[in-house]
Structure 1
Amino acid sequence: MVNIIVVFPKLEDAKNIRNLLARNGYSVIGVCCTGAQVLQITDNLEDGIVICGYRFNDMMYADLRESLASSFQMLLVASMHILESCDRRDIVSLPLPLRIGDLANTLEMMAAGMYRRRRRQKSQPKERSEAEKKVILDAKKLLMERNHMSEEEAHRYMQKCSMDSGNNMVETAKMIFALMKY
């Protein structure tokens, strides 16, 4: 599910867009008329899409984009005249008058990109801290000394134990220390 926030200077316009999105199967988690309200909502979210107009009661679209985390995407909805003069780097835009099909297709494209980014982030291995690397290295050394293993054998042994037990390598290394203390 994609977190969608709608922000326009007139609350009525924002509610109309929310209703339009709801009729097309999208769930809107926030309807706002100021950039500060958007920032308050996004503080509790990892990513999402902000659908907005050109100007709000407290800031411009560019100020909001700078304040948002990079994991958030912005869909700027404004007249063609305004869009031509905007700096739209890193911003998706749609001209007014807004067509429902264009809005739905654009949101679908943005959501697909967000899902791909999430999947890519999950598939990347997490970097271990220096302390975690040291725990693993020390466990390997202990296995090498006590069981007369090479470093490669100790590493493979720890990987197998880790996979068999469903624990990560750091937890496995800590278990090896606990078992070999005696």
Structure 2
Amino acid sequence: MNTSIVIALPKIEDAKKIRTVLNRYGFTVAAVCNSGANALASISELDGGVLLCGYHLQDMYYRDLLDYMPDYFEMLLMASQGVISEAPPSVLCVGMPLKAGDLVNTVSMILSQIERRWKKDKKKPKQRSWKE
């Protein structure tokens, strides 16, 4: 499976800047968008990966996006410390203002965790039916 990165921020210029930083460190960004609907549409076409998003997009908050996001994607929330303290434990967070090194290390960690989980799931024996 192929892991992908999708960036969803309210200001498309900010999302493009983050894409540039990630590209500089060797990551490939599959999509850049400024609304939750566009992010979900992009995610639905991909195998799995990371969604980098802000607290509030044009059409929804990050919690709404989290509800609609498939299981094979992880969310990385980029927000202020106040918002991060209220985030659910399933959401990984990076505090603003953002440091390039923190972002790159966090994205790298998330992608390696996803790869490990896929390999582990692949090694599990398949479920047998009662007849087998």
Q: What TM-score do you get using the length of structure 1 for normalisation?
A: 0.68
Q: Which one has a larger percent helix, Structure 1 or Structure 2?
A: 1
Query: Any conservation in 1 of the 2:9–2:33 contact (CA below 8 Å)?
Result: yes
Counterpart-to-counterpart distance in 1, 2:97 and 2:16 = 16
Q: Deviations over 1:121-175 (max 9, x none)?
A: 11011123456x2xxxxxxxxxxxxxxxxxxxxxxxxxxxxxxxxxxxxxxxxxx
Match of 1:98 in 2: 98
How much does 1:46 deviate?
2.8
Q: Quote how far apart the aligned CAs of 1:23 are.
A: 0.6
State the shift of 1:2 in Å: 2.4
Match of 2:23 in 1: 22
Cα distance between partner residues in 1 of 2:41 and 2:34 = 12
Q: CA deviation at 1:111?
A: 1.0
Map residues 6-155 of structure 1 onto 2, 5 A cutoff. Answer: 6-84=7-85, 86-129=86-129, 133=132
Aligned counterpart, 1:151: none
Q: Distance in 2 between matches of 1:12 and 1:53?
A: 13
Unaligned runs of 5+ in 2: none
Q: How many residues align?
A: 131
| TM-score, length of structure 2 as denominator length | 0.92
What letter matches 2:11 in structure 1?
K
Matches of 2:82 and 2:44, distance apart in 1: 32
Amino acid at match of 1:110: I
- Counterpart AA for 1:123: K
CA shift for structure 1 position 70: 1.6
Deviation string, structure 1 residues 82-139 (Cα, Å, up to 9, x no partner): 323x2232011011111111111111111111011000111011123456x2xxxxxx
TM superposition outliers: structure 1 runs of 4+ over 3 Å? 128-131
Greater shift in the superposed pair: 17-26 or 38-47: 38-47
Aligned amino acid, residue 119 of structure 1: K
Give the distance between the partners of 1:31 and 1:46, measured in 2 at CA.
Answer: 17
Structure 1 CA distance, aligned partners of 2:31 and 2:6?
5
Give the number of the structure whose residues are more often strand, by fraction. Answer: 2
